[in-house]
Amino acid sequence: MHEYHYALRDVENTLKYLHNDGIIIMHDCNPLTEEASIPFTEWEAKGMTGTWNGDLWKTIVHLRSLRKDINVFVLDCDHGLGIITKRKPENTLNFSPEEIETLTYSQFNANRTAWLNLKKTGYIFEYLKTEKIV
């Protein structure tokens, strides 16, 4: 389910078992429209069609704010591919869970690059060549 709390639960559970050189890849972390980012029940109730990404972007913001033991960034391709590794974070955010709950798409859209730690697609090759995953 492409919603903040479901995705966060799944990532947190996966991190418990992730090998030190493992990578978690999340799809749909960079919704391009507000309509694509609404909760699924609302999207479905409105009879919307097309792309639905959910609010996975909040999961990225949460992890970058509250987990100081992982590095998180999003590749700017295919609606955003979130990359999570057991590396020292290159930079972090400072939101509380309560603040994340109230963030809006408009705020996200204005801060997309910084909040997602958005990287060009080819960055993944550079990233994987650098220091070993710890």
Residue 26 in 3-state DSSP? strand
- In whole angstroms, give the CA distance from residue 60 to residue 65: 8
* Global pTM value: 0.92
117 is a domain residue = yes
Range of the domain at 40: 4-129
94 domain residue, yes or no: yes
Q: What is the pLDDT of residues 63-115, one digit of tens each?
A: 999 999 999 999 999 999 999 999 999 999 999 999 999 999 999 999 999 99
Partner residues linked to 68 by β-bridges = none
Residue 134 in any domain: the answer is no
> What does 99-111 look like in DSSP terms, one character per residue?
HHHH--HHHHHHH
Higher pLDDT, 78 or 131: 78
* Number of structural domains the chain divides into: 1
